[in-house]
Amino acid sequence: MAGVTARFPAKSRILVGGDREVKFPSEKVSLHDMFFGFLEEGEESSESSCSTDSGGRYSDDAGDEEEQDENANSAEESKAFWETQHQLLNATLSRTSSVESRIRQAVKDASRESQMAGNVCVCRNPIPGGCRSCLRRDISERLRNAGFNCAICKSKWRSSPEIPSGEHTYLDVVEQSSKKGQIRVVIELNFRAEFEMARASDEYNRLINRLPEVLVGKGERLRSLVKILCSAAKKCMKENKMHMGPWRKHKYMQAKWFGTCERIAPAPLFSTTFSDRPPKPPKASMLTFDLLENLPTLQPKAVAVV
């Protein structure tokens, strides 16, 4: 006599595919209820979940149960990871010091003044509304006028087996403290965009949207933020089964703000020349060279006519 394999009713089948809720014909079940409900139903029907067919072979759902358990565990781990990243990010951004607060307010004032002035672009090919380079120079100059030791920092790094070569430009302010000595505060005017990705997951985008557009923070705070965000980017790429480019790696992002850099005092934004070199003296030619003025011995003399 042929065996009959027991099956779950259609209305009570469990589908674990993420942390979202799944609507059933008769009720709405959350991930937590789906996971434990599946175990309870499996215990009740353990005797009927395995039977033999006409060929004497066993037919059971053990493999499907293990796969669903792994998916549920993976979803729980992913949820816990993103919750932890949000907590770490919030704790890092909420802490601040008096030096950072003072410089942050100065940057806000300088940005407001630059916006009111129109942020004129003086590059060779001006951009309407101003370019990022001219804005960076303008804010740096305004901070220096306000008494801050602000400079434009240009970092460069060579390629290695792990990351390619690159360069990055940002601002910093160096403060002298009687207790802590020299304090360096990094100013990144486009911080959020440095971590944005085109095909990122919703969890990653929600984390990035909590970042400030302009970051003003000391080195140790910036290091913590880079570590959190690079870890999130790696998790996002893994979950989406995408290759992580070397320019997204932790070592590459750290090189932007902590590599060898050159501090440059900003030149005046409104300049009549595009080069810092002194103008070259005009070249003399036979069309402009006054022979009579420079060679007085060649003055014409009267010739006696016999």
3-class SS string, 12-75: HCCCCCCCCCEECCCCEECHHHHHHHHHHHHHHCCCCCCEECCCCCEECCHHHHHHHHHHHHHH
pTM, 2 dp? 0.64
Domain-by-domain residue ranges, the chain?
A: 10-77, 95-264
Q: What is the pLDDT of residue 225?
A: 96
The residue ranges of DSSP E strands in the chain, in sequence order, are 22-23, 28-29, 51-52, 58-59, 150-157, 166-177, 181-188, 215-218, 261-264
More confident residue, 36 or 53: 53
Neighbours of 70 (CB within 10 A): 11
**In the block, which residue shows the tokens 């353990």?**
46
- Judged by average pLDDT, the poorest of 32-36, 76-80, 82-86, 287-291 is 32-36
Report helix angle 219-239 to 62-94, nearest 10: 160
Q: How far apart are CA 158 and CA 234, in angstroms?
A: 23
User: CA torsion angle for 219, 220, 221, 225 (degrees, to 10)?
Assistant: 100
pLDDT tens figures, 89-136: 999 999 889 999 999 999 999 999 988 887 677 777 777 767 888 899
More confident residue, 26 or 119: 119
In single-letter form, the type of residue at position 114 comes to S
Residue 199's pLDDT band, with cuts at 50, 70 and 90, is confident
Q: How far apart are CA 79 and CA 82, in angstroms?
A: 5
Q: Quote the Cα angle for 81-68-19, to 5°.
A: 40
Q: Residue 256 pLDDT > 90, yes or no?
A: yes
Q: What is the pLDDT of residue 289?
A: 46
User: CA torsion angle for 71, 72, 76, 81 (degrees, to 10)?
Assistant: 0
More confident residue, 292 or 261: 261
Residue 61's pLDDT band, with cuts at 50, 70 and 90, is low
- Residue 117 three-state SS: helix
Q: What is the pLDDT of residue 275?
A: 41
Q: How far apart are CA 68 and CA 64, in angstroms?
A: 6
Residue 170's pLDDT band, with cuts at 50, 70 and 90, is very high
Q: What is the pLDDT of residue 288?
A: 45
